[in-house]
Amino acid sequence: MVSRRERVRNDAMTKHGTRGVLVFPVGDVYFGAQVEEVAGLIDADRLAPLPRQHGALAGVVAFRGAMVPVLDLCAVLDYEWPTPSTSRYAIVLARGAERFALLIPSLPRIVSARELRESDPSGEDEFGSLVEAVYQTGDKTVHCLTYWSIFESIVSPSGADRAGRGVANGGSNHG
C-alpha cells in the first residue's frame, strides 16, 4: 500500500515531468539535491570541530537533537569559499536513520527542474562518476551528485559501503 506521502510526492514528480530540486551554487556551477533526500536546512555558523578531523570533514552540527557530521562540499570539489565571512548553511541529507550535512556557501532555492539524463558512466561529464543526475531549470543546468557515496568515502567504511549500495540501487534512497 502506497502511503499518502508517497502519493503526493509521486504526483509532484510526475505532474509536469519535473521534480523538486534544492539548488545551490558553488563557484560557477549549480548543484542540487532532490527534495526527497533533504531532511532540513540549518545555519552552519557554529560548527563543532571533531578530533583528528581533516580534509573535507568540517565538523558536526546539531540537527533536531542529533549530531550530524558535516561535509565541506567546496573542499570535496576543490573550490574556494567566496569569502571567509560568508554565511554558511548546511543541507541535511537523510537516508533512513542516517544523516549527514553538506556545507554550502549560500542559501539554496527550491526549483522545479526537468531531468535531462541519468548519471554518465562514461566519465565525459566534468564531475564524472560523482554525478547522479542532471536537471535543467530555466537556463541553468543543475548537477545532483552522489553525496552519500562521497560522504562514505570520506567518513567511514561502513557508511561508504552503504552509500555505495545506495548508488548502485538507483542513486538515492527515498526514505
Q: Which residues contact other proteins (rule: CB under 8 A)?
A: 4-9, 12, 20, 22, 35-36, 38-43, 87, 89, 107-110
Shortest distance in whole angstroms from residue 126 CB to other proteins: 27
Shortest distance in whole angstroms from residue 31 CB to other proteins: 16
Nearer to other proteins, 11 or 124 (CB): 11
Nearer to other proteins, 10 or 156 (CB): 10
Nearer to other proteins, 6 or 126 (CB): 6
Shortest distance in whole angstroms from residue 144 CB to other proteins: 15
Nearer to other proteins, 56 or 147 (CB): 147
DSSP letters spanning 48-112 = BP-TT--TTEEEEEEETTEEEEEEEHHHHHT---S-TTS--EEEEEEETTEEEEEEESS--EEEE
Shortest distance in whole angstroms from residue 5 CB to other proteins: 4
Shortest distance in whole angstroms from residue 110 CB to other proteins: 5
Alpha-carbon torsion 60, 89, 123, 163, what sign?
Answer: positive
Q: Are 166 and 172 in contact (CB under 8 A)?
A: yes
Give the separation between CA 93 and CA 85, rounded to whole angstroms.
Answer: 25
Give the separation between CA 67 and CA 103, rounded to whole angstroms.
Answer: 15
Q: Residue 68's closest CA among 88, 35, 97?
A: 97
Nearer to other proteins, 42 or 77 (CB): 42
Q: Is 85 exposed, middle or buried (0-12, 13-18, 19+ CB in 10 A)?
A: exposed
